[in-house]
Amino acid sequence: MKFEHILYAKRDATASITLNRPDKLNAFNVPMLEELLAAVTDAASDAGVRAVLLTGAGRGFCAGADLESRRVPEGGQKPDLGKNLLKWYNPVVKTIRTMEKPVVVAVNGVCAGAGAGIATAGDIVLAARSASFIQAFCKIGLVPDAGNTWHLPRLIGVARARGLALLGDKLPAEQAEQWGLIWKCVDDAKLMEEATAILRQFASAPTRALAYSKALYNASFSNDLATQMDLEAQFQRRCGDTADFWEGVKAFLEKRKPDFKGR
């Protein structure tokens, strides 16, 4: 696929996706969603890719759905807003959450609406100190979508998630870190350096174990303790079948750095 609204590059066992409509704060139009879904699907299925980075070009991360394309002519037909969610946004969020490798999100600026849903689906979310998160939906008569009502209460609790959704207040990156919405808030100038360092660490990590950890945390809030521990045992058994586990133990005993192959 030709990428015109995002940048997509693969190198050194990593894939980088940059939302690239900076003059519109990377708001999602359909071609951009189509490209984003193609990129995350490719990154997920490419066994050579062991870690994925998602960020935005310019001063914003993503302003949510492109409202310009939602301009309804007088007397025009009302749009089916569920359609684009089912076709594009939901598969993007599901692919990020279920891909068997970690996704690092570098939130470089304002992150609104569905943009916040996609950002918070990441495994490690870093944000520049000047960035902010806005559940902008209530300001235009919508409900939070793109996984926001699933991720936010789990990350920051219902009181805060509901408050953000109903008030539409801007949550600065520092407070997002304090509330546990993101992993870390960093100085703007350091954002890409820190995100890249984490990406590199993941590119030489025991990928299968990270994928299984991710699956365990995906399941955690829906399971009771006994079911979850059974699942841990299942995944630990699978880890025992990986070459990386044996390499990890061998390297520890030989007092050297492990050389994980992601298998």
Q: How many CA atoms lie within 13 A of 153 on its CB side?
A: 9
Total residue length of the chain: 263
Q: Minimal distance in Å, beta carbon 5 to ligand LHQ?
A: 13
Q: Minimal distance in Å, beta carbon 165 to ligand LHQ?
A: 12
Instruction: Tell me the CA end-to-end span of the chain in Å, nearest whole number.
Output: 28
Residue 207: both structure tokens together: 């990928």
115 or 262: CB nearest ligand LHQ: 115
Q: Minimal distance in Å, beta carbon 63 to ligand LHQ?
A: 3
Cα gap 40→53, rounded to integer Å: 10
46 or 174: CB nearest ligand LHQ: 174
Q: Minimal distance in Å, beta carbon 23 to ligand LHQ?
A: 6
Query: Three-state DSSP class for 204?
Result: coil
Q: Minimal distance in Å, beta carbon 219 to ligand LHQ?
A: 27
CA-based nearest residue to 165, from 187, 133, 127, 210: 133
158, 146 contact by CB (below 8 A): no
20 or 207: CB nearest ligand LHQ: 20
Q: CB-based contacts of 30: which residues, under 8 Å, 6+ apart?
A: 69, 84, 88
Q: Minimal distance in Å, beta carbon 252 to ligand LHQ?
A: 47
95 or 207: CB nearest ligand LHQ: 95
4, 40 contact by CB (below 8 A): no
Residue 146's CB is within 10 A of a number of other CB atoms, namely: 26
114 or 205: CB nearest ligand LHQ: 114
81 or 167: CB nearest ligand LHQ: 81
> What residues make contact with ligand LHQ under the rule CB under 6 A?
24-25, 27, 63-68, 81, 84-85, 89, 110, 112-114, 134, 136-137, 139-140, 142, 145
